[in-house]
Amino acid sequence: MLGLRKGVIGFLGFMFLVFSYNILNNGPLQIRSQAGQVQSSTSTQIKLWGVPFRPLEPCWTEPSRKSNRKEWGYVLVRCSQGPHHHRFQIADAVIVARQLGATLVIPIVKEGLTELASNFDDLYTVKHFIATLEGVVRIMGRLPEDLRGLNHTSIQVPYRITKPYIDQNIRPIFEKSTVIVLDDFLPSMEDVEEEQDVEMEAIRCLIKYKALMFQSQIEKLGNRLNNRMKEAAQRAGGKYVAVDYRSTDTACEEERDVVHTKSKRCLSPRALGLLLQSHGFARETAIYLTQTRLDESFDPLLNLFPNVITKEYSMPFNEESQFLYSGRTQLELAIDFYICSHSDVLVPIHSNTFYTAVAGERIKLGLPHILVPSLVTRPKQATETTLLLGVSQMVAAKTHPAYSCLCEHGMSERLAKEPTSPASS
């Protein structure tokens, strides 16, 4: 009996020690665990959604505005391939007209080889465009009546045209023709040293980040679709991902997960889903895809991410006929440009002009979180590469041209271009 009593007393004493240890240690242990969870959660959120930045403001050198300059002759420009190309095409047209001392006619927007041209004011606010360029170049709505209907000389020009090129190749034609049409834009001249002309760069900044403003209907529709995406993303805190998935490369039609061509990387819908999943995006993540609609080939993506949304799904019924079924691809591209510029994250599958132009707009708006697919070689497996998402090099190292045009309030251009963190892939 005495032995039993001692055993009970010993057991109770042991339990008291255990209880005391828990009382003394449970609080700090729980706090450390919670702190670890918070830290992990915060780093994951930054990895997925980035951190907010303040919108940037113009800090380029203002181009001289010569109100008493004498103009002679006219320059027309036919823009094509969407708003992401228009910025570069119109900037070059303004530079050509200014260098020649000519009047710029309001641009024409080409829909395609078999489609009708659109009016400039179908996409952009004309009054804002003219007011922004007042004194930089003279602008007219259309050619004088006696020059309409004639066959005018069409000229091919390279992107990022230079003054010497204009004087040597375009001026002789212009002086004979009076009216020239910039109708075909070629790749930039790789064998010509980049001309560092402050005034020309200022004009390019002015066009890309101020002069071209979408007309009110596109702005309102884009804002409405952006809000719809945020509503669809409520389970992810109202944040969504925009993926530019479009490609005209026939190699992308091959039935393989990843296809590498000379200039592009193509991903199957399944590979896209696996790539987003490997980066940590949850199944319920809302994804805007730059497709008009989805067919059965996207089922593997929908199995991984069922909350994939397209223009057809998100657009109000009464505006579908105007924007989706009118055959005017420029309007669809304008909506894609707007949504990809305002999403919480952009994932551009292809490194192209759309990516460059949208990245500039996002930098201006303070939304620089862009995740770009890149091939990474494992240290211990030199022969194997993995496709991962990494922060855009143009943003991380601040090498995007936007950083030469835009700064934080009160910040100089030099400080604006200093990297804030080590460059990523």
Q: pLDDT tens digits, residue range 331-379?
A: 889 999 999 999 999 999 988 889 999 999 999 999 999 999 987 766 6
Average pLDDT over residues 99-125: 83
Residue appearing with tokens 């071209």: 212
> In angstroms, what CA-CA distances link 379 with 14, 318, 385, 386?
52, 55, 10, 11
- Which residue do the tokens 């510029």 mark? 341
The per-residue pLDDT for range 248-270, each reduced to its tens digit, is 454 455 555 554 444 456 788 99
8 band by pLDDT with thresholds 50, 70 and 90: very low
Q: In this structure, how many other beta carbons lie within 10 angstroms of the beta carbon of residue 291?
A: 21
- pLDDT category, 116, cuts 50, 70, 90? low
What does the mean pLDDT of the chain come to?
79
Q: How confident is the model at residue 411 (pLDDT cuts 50, 70, 90)?
A: low
Residues 88 and 401: beta-carbon distance below 8 Å: no
pLDDT of 193 over the 60 cut: no
Q: At 119, is the secondary structure helix, strand, or coil?
A: coil
pLDDT band at residue 87 under the 50/70/90 scheme: very high
Which has the higher per-residue pLDDT, 321 or 392?
A: 392
Q: Does residue 133 surpass a pLDDT of 90?
A: yes
Mean pLDDT of 301-310: 94
Contacts of 139 (CB under 8 A, 6+ apart): 103, 104, 105, 106, 129, 130, 133
Of 122-126, 295-299, 414-418, the one with minimum mean pLDDT is 414-418
Percentage of the chain exceeding pLDDT 90: 49
Sign of CA dihedral 414, 416, 420, 422: negative
Give CA separation, 388 vs 266, 307, 364, 368, in Å. 14, 22, 26, 19
Determine the residue type at 267: L
Containing 300, the helix (H) or strand (E) segment is helix 299-304
Adjacent-strand bridge partners of 317: none
* Per-residue model confidence (pLDDT) at position 28: 30
How much of the chain exceeds pLDDT 70, in percent?
72
Quote the pLDDT of residue 192. 46
Spatial distance between the Cα atoms of 153 and 80, rounded to a whole number of angstroms = 18
According to the model, what pLDDT value does residue 17 have?
A: 46
pLDDT over 50 (residue 185): yes
- 198 is written with which tokens? 């402050």
